[in-house]
Structure 1
Amino acid sequence: MTEKQPAVYILASKRNGTLYIGVTSNLIRRVWEHKNDLADGFTKKYQVHQLVWYELHETMDSAISREKAMKNWKRAWKISRIETVNPDWKDLYQSLL
């Protein structure tokens, strides 16, 4: 994975815990910011730091469209998406490095 690659991602506080969906052009840097509470707001307040799912995109426009769509999904759909590729809810951040 290159440093600059549009991506949509889901962070979780724990298995079946609080979820956060975001979009970025640099997934490694952005998840590191969340993990180190450098991103003020929701993820810092609720300790949502585990990268449990991500999807790479060709363009930022497509990533933003996907993020907006997924934010409107039912929670069950989000959990199903996570468990399809990450059934154990492992933190995927180290696999990016």
Structure 2
Amino acid sequence: MFFVYVLYSPEFEQFYVGLTTDIDRRLTEHNNGKNQSTKAFIPWKMVHKENFETLLQARKREKYLKSAAGRRWRKLHIRPRGATE
């Protein structure tokens, strides 16, 4: 099972989209500063996740969510409290 997830940093109003096989471990890594690109925006909270059977399906969805169209989709469907994106 593969997961595509969206994290939100309420303190910095930043989003992050990623892919993993272990969602709980990955969130812990983000909040412990083990990811260079998310380290500056700790703390993170999980605001959305989707599961997929194959890596190919998950990569396709992750790529979409990181695109301009995906950002528009996130803006319409994922609105954490305090988000301004």
* Shared fold per TM-score greater than 0.5: yes
Q: Counterpart in 1 of 2:56?
A: 61
* Identical columns (%): 33
RMSD: 2.3
**2:17 counterpart of 1:30:** no
- Asked whether the equivalents of residues 7 and 48 of structure 2 are also in contact (C-alpha less than 8 Å), the reply is yes
Task: Give the corresponding residue for 1:20.
Answer: 16
Change (3 A) 1:13 1:28: same
Structure 1 residue 88: deviation in Å?
4.8
SS of corresponding position for 2:7: strand
**Contact kept? 1:6, 1:58, Cα under 8 Å:** yes
Correspondence list, 1:1-97, <5 A: 5-14=1-10, 17-39=13-35, 41-47=36-42, 49-74=44-69, 75-83=71-79, 88=81
Given the two structures, how large is their TM-score scaled by the length of structure 1?
0.70
TM (norm. structure 2) is 0.79
Following superposition, which runs of at least 4 residues in structure 1 exceed 6 angstroms of deviation?
A: none
Cα distance 1:71–1:48, how it changes in 2: closer, same or farther (>3 A)? farther
